[in-house]
Amino acid sequence: MTSRPCVRVPSLSLLWLEELRAEGVQALLLDLDNTLCDPRGDSPTEEAAAFCVRMEEAGMRGYILTNGRGDRAERLAQRLGLPCIARAHKPLPGAYRRALRDLDLPKEAVAAVGDQFFTDGLGAMYVGIRLVLVEPRFPRDKPLVRLLSPLDRILRRLIPER
């Protein structure tokens, strides 16, 4: 591994997939709300759909981990053609470990991608997997996320920008 274990990047479209793949990353554990879709919407963003195509082209698998509801998450994951764990209780490690088992990959072979420091960031750090923190795509999110967002904005600056 040559690049840093935690980085920030402005958007999914700027994520350097080929480089990560060359460094041995075979799968991405993807956050759903505000990373791949509007938290109030029912379809993935165009950017997310394009990202999934790029991921496949780079020879990487994707796996959605979301703290959101199961039925909506399943629908969205299906539209993107990705497996999904809903109600993942990030940053707790259970869902991360389940996803690693499911993918049959060691933690060194995956990276987490998400928009929130407190869930996606701490979860990845706790489990010891690489983290790519993206900027939230939409101004609104779940009430708890909104409540923590001023602090989240401060803490995410601790993570170096790529």
Which residues sit at the interface with Mg ion, rule CB under 5 A?
Answer: 31, 33-34, 115-116
- In angstroms, give the least distance from the CB of 85 to Mg ion: 14
Closer Cβ to Mg ion, 55 or 68, answer by number? 68
- In angstroms, give the least distance from the CB of 160 to Mg ion: 20
Strands (E), the chain: 6-9, 27-30, 61-65, 84-85, 110-114, 130-134
Tokens representing 60 are: 């990487």
- In angstroms, give the least distance from the CB of 72 to Mg ion: 13
| Cβ–Cβ < 8 Å for 109, 27 | yes
Closer Cβ to Mg ion, 54 or 140, answer by number? 140
Closer Cβ to Mg ion, 115 or 152, answer by number? 115
Residue nearest to Mg ion (CB): 34
| Closest to 12 measured CA to CA, from 40, 43, 39, 50 | 50
Closer Cβ to Mg ion, 33 or 152, answer by number? 33
- In angstroms, give the least distance from the CB of 136 to Mg ion: 7
Tokens representing 22 are: 């060359």
| Cβ–Cβ < 8 Å for 97, 127 | yes
Residue 80 CA: distances (Å) to CA of 45, 63, 76, 87, 148: 10, 10, 6, 18, 28
Helices and strands, counts by H and E, the chain? 6, 6
Closer Cβ to Mg ion, 101 or 143, answer by number? 143
- In angstroms, give the least distance from the CB of 34 to Mg ion: 4
